[in-house]
Structure 1
Amino acid sequence: MSADPHREGHVVNRIGWLRAAVLGANDGIVSTASLVLGVAAANARTTDIVIAGTAGLVAGAMSMAAGEYVSVSAQADTEHAEIGRERRELAVDPVGELAELAGIYVERGVDHATAVAVATQLMAHDALGAHARDELDLTVGARAPPVQAALASAASFTVGAAMPLLAVFVMPANRLIAGVAGSSLLFLAVLGALGARAGDAAVWRGTCRVTFWGAFAMAVTALIGHLIGGTM
């Protein structure tokens, strides 16, 4: 047998960053494409469409960054408070905490003697880590810092939003709506396929889901823009 333990790679380890990247890029494409189509459907000039799309890109990226920062910070504060509480309980009542940890393993199907032995060994190695993981379902130090999470979210949104905005520059004015809608749906289909493949999910399902809801959002926004533009 090899001296090194066998380690399997599981796609579940990619869920966190995969969800953030796909969500950010998807939001960027859908929100910017919808904004561009809504303004274009209102018979606005190409310059106005570019201004609106650029403003949407910047505002959306900042909103994603701020929202991610606040969300991750709030969750980190809660986790730190829970870990601090667990640290105090371990200092005050280590015997009770040992029994509590062993009880968790018993509930999962381990016999009492083995559960006590495992809990004893884990607490001797890293008591706080064992309780954080098995009692609180937390991994100490595993979460990305709020600033890093905010920058990653803003970056993925910006990349997604840049795609329909760039299409405005290459499409002729008389085909702008069809061109932006078509290219954006293509970007969404590729994004959905890549996300599904990275997560070992069904590619067709991920592609259809992302494309359908993107098309729905763009169609509704374009319709509203057309109705408002027709009344002015």
Structure 2
Amino acid sequence: MTASDGTQTDGPGAHEGEAHHGGLSSRMNWLRAGVMGANDGIVSTAGLVVGVAGATAAGGPILTAGIAGVVAGAVSMALGEYVSVSSQRDTERALLAKERAELDLYPDEELDELAALYVAKGLKHATARQVAQELTEHDAFAAHADAELGIDPQALTNPLHAAGASAVAFTIGSLLPLIAILVPPPGARVAVTFVVVLLALAVTGAVSAHLGTAGKPAAVTRLVLGGALAMLVTFGIGHLVGATVL
């Protein structure tokens, strides 16, 4: 039997609620992932171009390093997301296949297990049994996938979609510091980039906190301080290396 504590669902009424709220939850997860991907692009590319700018004022090397960073970062993000989501999807498929086999081999035991899950959520035994029977008659596999595994068999994440979204978000975030450091005159490049990047991090921090229903001041402060530290460190290293090598 598939072991489960039954804590991944909201109860017997969750099936109906998910029909209305599942799509919204999915879109929110994608949006949150997009914001975090853009944030990664901002910080990593900003650190790279500011570091190169610390070594040289020439625009060519900065542009070359920036483009290389954008491409390498986007590919890395996409590959990492593809591997991660593929592994998750393989695991979900294996769990669903096991659950389907158990339903075929032990239908009565699975019905008892489903009823027990609803009892654990607070329903009376008679009510839990009735709910389990009705859900089993409607779609036993979907009922067990939801109650035991917290998985919607019809809404498994697509690894290619996740990889593409991650690459696009990273690229969009990366373009901001790249443009910020190339447009101003050489003497103002680093200062302008610092201001633009920190403002962008403040915005992404606020949006991320809003999506995650967390405190905005703490989220914004962490991102801004982290981004500032990253740029200061890379600029210092670039300046030292540039003074020594160039």
Is 1:20 aligned to residue 36 of structure 2?
no
For these two proteins, the number of residue pairs brought into alignment is 228
- Of 127, 152, 158, 2:165 maps to 152
2:174 to 146, 154, 161: 161
Q: Does residue 212 of the first structure (1) align with residue 239 of the second (2)?
A: no
Match runs of 1:76-91 below 5 Å: 76-91=89-104
Residue of 83, 86, 106 corresponding to 1:70? 83
- 1:223 paired with 2:236, answer yes
Look up the SS of the partner of 2:149 in the other structure: coil
Secondary structure of 1:26 counterpart: helix
Query: 2:4 — aligned with what?
Result: none
Determine if the alignment matches structure 1 residue 116 to structure 2 residue 124. Answer: no
Report if aligned partners of 1:14, 1:199 keep a CA contact under 8 Å in 2.
Answer: no
**1:93-134 CA-partner distances (Å, limit 9, x unpaired):** 110000111111111221211111111111111111111111
Displacement of 1:230 in angstroms is 2.9
Superposed CA RMSD: 2.2
Q: CA deviation at 1:190?
A: 1.7
- The TM-score normalised by the length of structure 2 is 0.85
Q: What one-letter code is carried by the residue in structure 1 that aligns with 2:42? A: I
The question of whether the paired residues in 2 share the 8 Å contact of 1:15 and 1:199 is answered with no
Say which SS state the counterpart of residue 138 (structure 1) adopts. coil
More divergent stretch after superposition (27-36 vs 166-175): 166-175
How far the C-alpha of 1:189 sits from its partner, in A, is 1.2
Tell me which of 20, 43, 61 is aligned to 1:30.
43
Q: What SS does the aligned partner of 1:35 have?
A: helix
Give the whole-Å Cα distance in 2 for the aligned partners of 1:124 and 1:35: 59
Letter in 1 for 2:70: L
Secondary structure of 2:150's aligned partner:
coil
1:135 aligned counterpart, secondary structure: helix
Aligned to 2:60: 47
Please list every run of 5 or more consecutive structure 1 residues that lacks an aligned counterpart in the other structure.
none
CA contact (8 A) 2:182 2:189 kept: no
Amino acid at match of 2:188: R
Alignment of 1:136-151 (within 5 A): 136-151=149-164
Q: Percent identity?
A: 50
The aligned residue for residue 191 of structure 1 is 204
Distance in 2 between the 1:220 and 1:130 partners? 53
Q: Please, which of 156, 160, 170 is the counterpart of residue 183 of structure 2?
A: 170
Inter-partner Cα distance in structure 2 for 1:39 and 1:208:
26
Contact 1:39 1:222 in 2 (8 A): yes
Shift of 1:227: 2.6
Cα 1:13–1:150 shift into 2, 3 Å:
closer
For normalisation by structure 1, the TM-score amounts to 0.90
Contact 1:102 / 1:118 at 8 angstroms: preserved in 2? yes
Farther off after superposition, 124-133 or 189-198: 189-198
The match for 2:120 is 107
Runs (5+) with no aligned partner, structure 2: 1-15
| Partner Cα separation in structure 2 for residue 41 and residue 85 of structure 1 | 57
Which residue identity is paired with 2:135?
L
Letter in 1 for 2:175: A
